[in-house]
Structure 1
Amino acid sequence: MNVEEKIISLISEQLPRSKKQLNELFESDAEILKKRNGFFLFSVDDFSKEDHFRTTDPHQLGKNLAVATLSDIFASGGTPQYFSHSIGLDPEKWDDSYLVELCRGVAEMLVETGAAFIGGDLGTSEEWHYNGIALGHSDKPLMRKKTAPGELIYMTGNCGTGNLEAALQLFNIENNVTTQFELRHKEARLIHEFATTCIDSSDGIVNALRTISLLNDTGFLIDRLNADPIASAFMAKLKLPEELLFLGECGEYELVFTVKPEDEENFLAEAKSRELYFAKIGTIQQEKKLLVSGSKIYDLSDFNIGGRDFSDPQEYISALTKYLKSHEHNSS
């Protein structure tokens, strides 16, 4: 359990919970509450400079913030219905035109999903922060539990977009690369029909899979990193291992999910008919090892490095790099 997980557990232990709540702590991306007709989904996320989103393009930032907020509803098998936010800003840095463009970006994503904005709050702050709240509905919620050995691990999109965004910001690299987090509402509908578990990659792919493994008392074998090609090229340029895109916790807000082998053929056929793309990246294993296989094999079974454990992001990157080096084995 890393520092963040310990803090969340400590806070949760002090507060009363509803008997109508379906999920226990860490069991789902959104909070799931039973209602008369189906389930109510609730999610809240806070974003600030520690997430390393670039802020030079307010319209792009607004879209990314909305996608990042809504992804928890999709990962829980739901449809977003309502959206709210609280914005903290320095008026001298974020003027009226900046705020308008930011909100236009948020609005584009809400219109795409059919969710309505129901109000929010505004405050001033020396450093920006954005608190996004999403409310949704599901007739059959998806959780992070109920997978089993032999099930197949799939994901939407590519690995590493969020870590690329962070690298561009941390290393102050000026370029025309746009890192847009994709709205996966169409994919989420199909995932809801076939998946046994689902989680978003808000904290990176390895942390998503590590959570699933811990909750289900299993391991995993990843035989395809499915890295974003632009992100891979930047890792090479920075002389950093590509696997950092998998380990880093600046996530890409894709959906990572498991499918039973006997359902794979129907799942892929339906995906093709809807013109949706999914990447198979590995399998759930009985043995409680967390393995990544490629030109080298990495055993991540004791991986427990969190970004909030470091005051300097460069130290975090260095720790991840050293961890990879000490845990690599030749595939032969």
Structure 2
Amino acid sequence: MSNIEMIEAAAERLKGHVRETPILTSPFLDEIAGRKVLIKPECLQHTGSFKFRGAWSAISALDDSTRQRGVIAYSSGNHAQGVAMAASKHEIASVIIMPSDAPQLKIDNTRALGGEVVLYDRANESREEIGEALAAERGLTLIRPYDEPQVIAGQGTTGLEIARQSQELGVREADVLVCCGGGGLTSGIALALEKHAPGLRPRPCEPEGFDDVKRSLASGSIQNNNATSGNICDAILTPQPGQITFPILNRLCGPGLAVSEQEALHAMALAFLRLKIVLEPGGAVSLASALFRKDQIEGDAVIVVASGGNVDPQIFAKALEFLT
């Protein structure tokens, strides 16, 4: 089980390897949201998303002999790229199982970063079964995308930065909106804030129709999504919250928020126009929640974790239509 000690230890291992991302603001976004909006752009992290943090944490925590045999991961793209890059920097092999309908940019980038990509049909095949079989066959260590203590610890370093940065800005009470799939980033941030910024309340943000975490928090038990594809927020489409992450989310998070595809695209356009950053749909649902669910948020400020920016040009062009 992940805990704050693991997160703080991961932060030491990550020093000099990950970027500390800044806090961005815009008076234009504040006006739309009706409060101060503080955006943490993890789209500026190595590989374009927060996932590099968890990948480096997990790989760097392995003993040498285990690490040298290589690692395997399954992902629609962001965890894939994070693991591929972290493995390459450790000079070890990585095998990445990716859905065949993942954005081509993410597949290409994963290969370019040194990962061996194995494609599967997410509607009819189980990535977990494929991963476990390959791991056993080749002696690889499986790095799970979110239900993995050392991955959660790495993602939690985002929360350590938020705690320090918000304090420097004089923000001690606020909702922290986090794009949420299986809950690795949200649970890691929640653990970090519990100790270092207890006045900040994490809240998971998801696409409408794929709001398993929101429904799970409301019911107090893990709920499933009926579908695992069919939404542009591919980065955060998971069947259900993780077995490790959900108890953390249930204990520490406020109610979940859900936004439409159109709202995610609109948030992407505004992030480009007002912040000069590129977000992918799944990385923009937190900003969309801040801007378009303002009646469900309390306080004078809100903190937004913009979790990734690995978007295909065609989808980004669609988002920019909101500016015409």
Instruction: Say whether the fold is shared (TM-score over 0.5).
Output: no
TM-score with structure 1 setting the length: 0.31
TM-score with structure 2 setting the length: 0.31
Q: Which has the higher strand share?
A: 1
**Structure possessing the higher radius of gyration over alpha carbons:** 1
